[in-house]
Amino acid sequence: MSKERAIMDEITPDLLLQAYAAGIFPMAPDAESDELSWYLPEERGIMPLDGMHVPKKLMRLVMSGQMTVTADRAFDEVMLACAEPAPGRETTWISERIRALYGTLHRQGNAHSIEVWDGEKLVGGLYGVSLRGAFFGESMFSRVRDASKVALVHLVAGLRRGRYALLDTQYTTPHLTGLGGVGIPAADYQSLLHQALTVRAVWPDDFSLQALRESIASLRALPGRAPAGDPP
C-alpha cells in the first residue's frame, strides 16, 4: 500500500474527485485529526456488478420488504453512524473535516447514501462517491443484523439499473467476499476505472424495493450459509 499525508485545509471537493479519478482515496488518521492520508492499495477490492452472490436467506429478507430502503434521505446521519465506535473498530478514520468535505460532495451530487430503516429508525446504510460510471464505496454500518447487507444489495441493484460499470470497495473483507467481492491487482483496477470513467451512468432516483424489485431478483441467489456477519 502506498500513501501520502496531506493537510485537510489544502483539500477541496474538486481535488477529491480528481483523486478518485486517479484511483486514490483519503482517510484521516483518527476522528480528531485535521490531516489525511492518500491510499493507493496494491490490491483493490471491488464488487463485480454482474457477480454478486446473494444467499437465499438474505434474498428473502430483502424481498420481504421488512426493512425500508431509501437513498440520500439522511446522508449526514449515515456518515455519523459509520463513524460510531463498534466492537473491533473502536476508532474511526471519518473525521469532522472528512464529513464536511463529503457533505459538500453530497450537495454537489457526487456523494450518495443508502439508508435502511425499521419504521422511522435508521438501522443500517452506506455512503460513497459517484463519478461517471464508477461508485466508490466508503463505509457502511449496521445497528441490526444484516442491515448493511440489505443496503449493499439495493446499491448493486440500483447501480446495475443506472448502468454503472464499477463498484469499488477499496479493500476486501469476509463480509464482502462472502457476497462476491474480490481483490484485483492495482493495474487491473486502473484499467476498469479508466473504462468506467467513460460511462455516463445515472444515479437512480428511487432505491426502494418497489423500484428495484426486478433488478434485485436478477441477482444470483445462492443456497448455503450466509456470508460473514455485518462489519462493525
**Beta carbons of 92 and 85 less than 8 angstroms apart:** yes
Parent domain of 184: 42-222
Residue 159 is assigned to a structural domain of this protein: yes
Residue 15 is assigned to a structural domain of this protein: no
Is it the case that residue 2 has pLDDT exceeding 70? no
Longest dimension (CA), the chain: 49
Torsion 37-43-48-51 (CA) sign: negative
Confidence (pLDDT) at 93: 75
Per-residue pLDDT of 32-56, as tens digits, reads 777 788 999 999 999 999 999 999 9
Residue 150 is assigned to a structural domain of this protein: yes
Residue 194 is assigned to a structural domain of this protein: yes
Confidence (pLDDT) at 227: 46
For the chain, the first-to-last Cα distance in angstroms comes to 23
**Beta carbons of 173 and 231 less than 8 angstroms apart:** yes
Q: 22 or 5: which carries more pLDDT confidence?
A: 22
The count of structural domains within the chain is 1
**CATH number of the domain enclosing 87:** 3.40.630.70
Distance CA 39, CA 91 (A): 18
DSSP-derived pairing of the beta strands 2-7 and 35-40: antiparallel
Confidence (pLDDT) at 1: 45
Is it the case that residue 207 has pLDDT exceeding 90? yes
Per-residue pLDDT of 85-133, as tens digits, reads 766 665 677 888 889 999 999 999 999 999 999 999 999 999 999 999 9
Amino acid residing at 107: R
pTM: 0.90
Per-residue pLDDT of 148-194, as tens digits, reads 999 999 999 999 999 999 999 999 999 899 999 999 999 999 999 99
Residue 11 is assigned to a structural domain of this protein: no
**Local confidence band at 221 (pLDDT 50, 70, 90 cut-offs):** low
Residue 114 is assigned to a structural domain of this protein: yes
